[in-house]
A = this chain, B = another copy of it.
Amino acid sequence: MTRINPGGTIGIMGGGQLGRMIALAAARLGYHCHIYCPDENSPAFHVAQYKTVADYTDEKALTAFAEAVDVVTYEFENIPSQAVALVAAIKPLHPSVKALEVSQDRLAEKSFLAASGVTTAPYRAFETRDELGEAFAEIGKPSVAKTRRFGYDGKGQFMVKRKSDLDAVMDVTKGAPAILEGFVSFDREISVIVARSASGDVAAFPVGENVHTNHVLDTTTVPATINDMMEAKAKVMATRVANSLEYVGVMAVEMFVTDASGDIVVNEIAPRVHNSGHWTIEGAATSQFEQHVRAICDLPLGRPDALGKAVMKNLLGQEINDFEQYLSDPTAHYHHYGKSEPRKGRKMGHVTWVKPE
């Protein structure tokens, strides 16, 4: 592992708000940033020194990008793994290609999680209608069918409540590789943002409690309404996952707290900074974005302690224009991602309230 000192250049694949906030944190530490993104209107371009506007299949552009930087990271997991592998052959890439591949395939993800020693929902792979029937017989109802690849924010998912739903599932998956998961009846959703550096240091932020609306994160609240034991257990699970992947960078581990037993079931992982960690910008001693930069550059990790009670709320679409109320609120911190079109449901910004405990 090579340390990348302040003054070095960080390449970031993906130009959305996550890349933008990584670039802002990197700038404070004196790093230069180079954003790679196919969309020339990407908000991360606005705050970075260098940019490449090119497709993820453009090998020439990917090569030039990798050669121009000292270390590469990415801000979303749906980048073609070939693009990432090409870059990784030239410069250090964190998180690894393996971390990306695991997160891109729900079957690989479940198998990996189970092998890491954390609890997941029961699952079974299927492609054909016959295989789905067998999976349903085994998993039972209710269950959830999910395509293995490129699902996000509830897309590519289908709830199975009775046997007669199975045909409709096939209309969604259309024979693509998929899994059927046991539905977890849960009290609350939580997530752990955990950082692991190349030296193997691990730091988990306090657990956040997430509320989703229409499959999109609405709020994250810290501390979560779980007891100390559950808080510790959630952090141990996230740490196991990070160590097991030999992960480098910040990752999010999403979990359900089940209503049956109060147990914790790991739902999925995101090999990147995460929306449920935005509260750390003002609410923690170190933000998830700075922590990610520290981890991938092999600097000492920062202190993850919360500075108070924090609530983060996403601002979707036109909600971004309610800035007057947030800027007038003495405990609120308003964030606007610099996107020009406030389309319905689009993540345009967020607001974080921090109150001393």
- Which residues on A are within 8 Å of B, measured CB to CB? 5-7, 20, 23-24, 27-33, 45-49, 285, 294, 299-300, 302-303, 307, 320-321, 323-324, 327-328, 330, 334-338, 340, 349
Contact: A47 with B49, CB < 8 Å? yes
Known A-B contacts A5-B323, A49-B46; A29 and B299 likewise in contact (beta carbons under 8 Å): no
Contact: A334 with B29, CB < 8 Å? yes
CB distance from A189 to the nearest CB of B (A): 27
Which B residues are in CB contact (< 8 Å) with A29? 323, 334-336
**Whole-angstrom CA separation of A219 from B308 in the bound complex:** 28
Query: Which partner residue on chain B sits nearest A303 by CB separation?
Result: B330
Which B residues are in CB contact (< 8 Å) with A334? 6, 29
Known A-B contacts A338-B32, A349-B30; A294 and B327 likewise in contact (beta carbons under 8 Å): yes
Query: Which partner residue on chain B sits nearest A326 by CB separation?
Result: B300
Chain B CB within 10 Å — which of A28, A328, A330 has the most? A28
Contact: B300 with A328, CB < 8 Å? yes
Chain B CB within 10 Å — which of A6, A31, A49, A285 has the most? A6
Which B residues are in CB contact (< 8 Å) with A5? 321, 323
**Whole-angstrom CA separation of A152 from B335 in the bound complex:** 36
Known A-B contacts A27-B46, A47-B47; A7 and B336 likewise in contact (beta carbons under 8 Å): yes
B299, B324, B338: the one within 8 Å of A323 (CB): B299
Which B residues are in CB contact (< 8 Å) with A340? 7
B47, B299, B302: the one within 8 Å of A27 (CB): B47
Of all A-B residue pairs in the complex, the 4 with the closest CB atoms, nearest first, are A30-B336, A46-B49, A303-B330, A6-B336
**Whole-angstrom CA separation of A330 from B23 in the bound complex:** 22
Which B residues are in CB contact (< 8 Å) with A323? 5-6, 29, 299
CB distance from A330 to the nearest CB of B (A): 4
B27, B328, B338: the one within 8 Å of A24 (CB): B27
Which B residues are in CB contact (< 8 Å) with A47? 23-24, 27, 47-49
CB distance from A304 to the nearest CB of B (A): 10
21 contacts between A and B (CB under 8 A): A5-B321, A6-B323, A6-B334, A7-B336, A20-B27, A24-B24, A24-B27, A24-B47, A27-B46, A27-B47, A28-B336, A29-B336, A30-B337, A32-B338, A33-B46, A45-B49, A299-B323, A299-B327, A300-B324, A300-B328, A303-B330
CB distance from A187 to the nearest CB of B (A): 33
Chain B CB within 10 Å — which of A20, A27, A335 has the most? A27
Which B residues are in CB contact (< 8 Å) with A46? 27, 32-33, 48-49
**Whole-angstrom CA separation of A33 from B335 in the bound complex:** 16
Query: Which partner residue on chain B sits nearest A27 by CB separation?
Result: B47
Which B residues are in CB contact (< 8 Å) with A327? 294, 299-300, 302
